[in-house]
């Protein structure tokens, strides 16, 4: 199942997913609440979920039921919705809203002026709200070599590192596959992102390792997690193929992957970013959180 995350995130940011009172009522009636047994988690994984995957569920309901499931936060939520998360005692585990989009990123100098302005405005807001992670993207290659991409990213990101370090905010670049979902995206291998981290030399720049994307483009998920874990600040899940549930319908065995993550000493968040196929999306989320709770 092909999923247009780019459009989904854009719509959420633009607020075009607003629902009528009637729509809210209907969805509240059709989405079942998690069961009480969901709260007994082991505590080795800090669980989160990506907002865009549940765009048809009101954020208040997602937060309330997510809390019962055992979520500690919600991913990809901007400043306008942070108060809602706080109302339910949830963290904004991966903030967004400073990026232009997924294709126009730091690897192209023509976007630097806009990006630097937007990130300079957002970094203090993230810190003031008590959050840490702020997403960013390499952008598409558009003919650039690895070296040119690295050099341009370093040029742009170095202008933001002092501010990020001052406010204790981490800029987190997401690794996306360029084979299927995000053609021509530059940060499409773990080693490429790790090399950028080395070139920047700041603990306030890390990687978002998306397990779904990296399985598609490079495989060796557990090996790469072990090798590059010092550069990884955050994880996303997703079933392969299709980015659907992470159960036995797909090729990855998530309990082993989660055990490998725990073994590295990782203390950040693992966010569910699968697109539910089940009618009861909240029950599906609960099931996948439990799969990852090792």
In a domain, 142, yes or no: yes
Tell whether 234 is covered by a domain.
yes
Specify if 26 maps to a domain: no
pLDDT attached to residue 79:
98
For the chain, 294 residues long, give each residue's pLDDT as a single digit of tens: 444 555 555 554 444 333 333 333 333 334 444 544 445 899 999 999 999 999 999 999 999 999 999 999 999 999 999 999 999 999 999 999 999 999 999 999 999 999 999 999 999 999 999 999 999 999 999 999 999 999 999 999 999 999 999 999 999 999 999 999 999 999 999 999 999 999 999 999 999 999 999 999 999 999 999 999 999 999 999 999 999 999 999 999 999 999 999 999 999 999 999 999 999 999 999 999 999 999
Q: Is the dihedral of CA 258, 130, 71, 138 positive or negative?
A: negative
Q: Which domain CATH number covers 50?
A: 3.20.20.150
Instruction: Rounding to the nearest 10 degrees, give the CA dihedral for residues 180, 214, 194, 146.
Output: -20
18 in any annotated domain: no
The 3-state DSSP class for residue 271 equals: strand
Q: Cβ(241)–Cβ(250) under 8 Å?
A: yes
| C-beta of residue 41 within 8 angstroms of C-beta of residue 18 | no
Host domain of residue 156:
39-292
Q: Would residue 101 count as lying in a domain?
A: yes
Is residue 24 in a domain? no
In a domain, 176, yes or no: yes
**Whole-number Cα distances in Å, 77 to 52, 101, 113, 128:** 9, 15, 24, 15
- Measured between alpha carbons, how far is 268 from 73 in angstroms, rounded to an integer? 11
Q: Is residue 34 a part of any domain in this protein?
A: no
Residues 6+ apart with CB under 8 A from 251: 215, 240, 241
**Counted domains in the chain:** 1
Are the C-beta atoms of 238 and 204 separated by less than 8 Å?
no
């Amino acid at each position: 199942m092909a999923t247009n995350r780019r459009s989904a995130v854009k719509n959420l940011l633009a607020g075009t997913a607003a629902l009528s009172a009637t729509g809210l009522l209907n969805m509240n009636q059709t989405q079942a609440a998690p069961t009480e047994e969901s709260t007994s988690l082991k505590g080795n994984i800090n669980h989160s979920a990506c907002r865009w995957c549940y765009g048809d569920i009101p954020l208040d309901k997602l937060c309330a039921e997510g809390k019962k499931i055992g979520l500690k936060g919600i991913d990809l939520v901007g400043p306008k919705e942070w108060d809602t998360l706080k109302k339910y005692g949830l963290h904004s585990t991966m903030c967004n809203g400073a990026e232009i989009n997924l294709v126009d990123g730091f690897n192209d100098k023509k976007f630097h002026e806009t990006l630097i302005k937007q990130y300079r405005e957002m970094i203090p807001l993230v810190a003031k709200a008590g959050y840490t992670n702020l997403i960013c993207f390499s952008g598409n290659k558009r003919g650039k070599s690895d070296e040119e991409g690295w050099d341009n990213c370093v040029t742009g990101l170095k202008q933001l590192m002092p501010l990020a370090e001052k406010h204790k905010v981490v800029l987190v670049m997401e690794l996306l596959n360029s084979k299927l979902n995000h053609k021509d995206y530059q940060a499409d291998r773990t080693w490429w992102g790790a090399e950028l981290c080395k070139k920047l030399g700041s603990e306030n720049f890390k990687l978002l390792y998306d397990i779904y994307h990296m399985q598609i483009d490079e495989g060796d998920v557990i090996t790469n997690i072990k090798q590059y874990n010092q550069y990884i600040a955050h994880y996303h899940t997703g079933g392969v193929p299709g980015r659907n549930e992470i159960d036995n319908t797909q090729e990855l065995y998530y309990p082993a992957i989660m055990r490998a993550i725990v073994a590295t000493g990782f203390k950040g968040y693992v966010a569910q970013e699968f697109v539910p196929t089940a009618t009861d999306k909240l029950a599906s989320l609960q099931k996948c959180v439990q799969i990852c709770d090792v």
